[in-house]
């Protein structure tokens, strides 16, 4: 399928590793140009060796609205506009401490809000504007990552639907992707596999397909929803979990 993303101008937050990195790579394979950000400058430098000249990485603290505004504006000038924004950031915060809640709120939720607020005025000028938010099945079902991570991911699903209604008259589509267990060696499941192998085996066995997702599988879903190939899809939450969750979506 031709996703019609050749020369598309794309922003990706959290793009140096894991799901975000796979999203950047998938857009590049489709012929898009990408500006991405991450917290860690060293991670950006390493990722850049793989991405090449059609991607540009910048160290940005997504919890800082001023930094995010500057990055979006600078990226738009470099790319010649913005067609797509993918918000893929998380503090991966767990536990009941107030500091964990604050970190999750400022990163997962406000980090996404900062990106969207900065980008929407520029997306209005695009003929194929799209926003994709990366949430999680933890935002839909109570699991071991229920708080504060799951609570913030649930808020993102609601936020995505709200944005889709608000911006549909402006032809800006907004969708959300909610992955289940996604394995990569330097991610949370890689860490659990190393530190708590019994827990990892238990969680792995809960996946009906017998494995966890790969980052590129999530990336392909996100890139499809961002593309003109999904031109009549807005306001949806796409669950990508290999059958892990049991709830019925109405």
196 is catalytic: no
CB 159 within 8 Å of CB 113: yes
135 is catalytic: yes
> From start to end of the chain, where are the E strands?
9-13, 33-38, 55-59, 84-87, 130-134, 173-179, 237-240
CB 26 within 8 Å of CB 218: no
149 is catalytic: yes
75 is catalytic: no
Which one of 9, 128, 153, 161 is the catalytic residue?
Answer: 153
Which one of 9, 75, 128, 149 is the catalytic residue?
Answer: 149
Which one of 75, 90, 136, 227 is the catalytic residue?
Answer: 136
Which one of 135, 164, 178, 227 is the catalytic residue?
Answer: 135
Torsion of CA 211, 205, 17, 135, to 10 degrees: 100
**What would the two tokens of residue 75 be?**
């990226």
**What would the two tokens of residue 178 be?**
């909610």
Active-site residue list: 135-136, 149, 153
């Amino acid at each position: 399928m031709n996703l019609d993303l050749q020369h598309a101008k794309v922003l990706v937050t959290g793009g140096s590793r894991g799901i975000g990195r796979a999203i950047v790579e998938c857009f590049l394979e489709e012929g898009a140009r990408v500006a991405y950000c991450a917290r860690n400058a060293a991670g950006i430098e390493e990722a850049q060796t793989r991405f090449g000249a059609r991607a540009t990485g910048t160290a940005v603290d997504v919890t800082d609205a001023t930094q995010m505004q500057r990055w979006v504006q600078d990226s738009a000038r470099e790319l010649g506009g913005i067609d797509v924004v993918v918000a893929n950031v998380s503090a991966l915060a767990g536990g009941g401490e107030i500091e964990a809640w604050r970190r999750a709120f400022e990163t997962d939720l406000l980090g996404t809000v900062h990106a969207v607020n900065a980008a929407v005025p520029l997306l209005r000028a695009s003929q194929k504007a799209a926003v994709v938010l990366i949430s999680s099945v933890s935002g839909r079902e109570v699991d071991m990552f229920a708080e504060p991570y799951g609570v913030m991911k649930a808020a993102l699903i609601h936020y995505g639907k709200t944005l889709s209604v608000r911006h549909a008259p402006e032809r800006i589509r907004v969708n959300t992707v909610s992955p289940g267990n996604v394995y990569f060696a330097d991610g949370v499941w890689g860490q659990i596999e190393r530190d708590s192998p019994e827990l990892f085996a238990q969680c792995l066995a809960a996946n009906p397909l017998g494995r966890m997702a790969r980052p590129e599988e999530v990336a392909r879903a996100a890139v499809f929803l961002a593309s003109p190939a999904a031109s009549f899809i807005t306001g949806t939450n796409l669950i990508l979990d290999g059958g892990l969750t049991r709830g019925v979506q109405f």
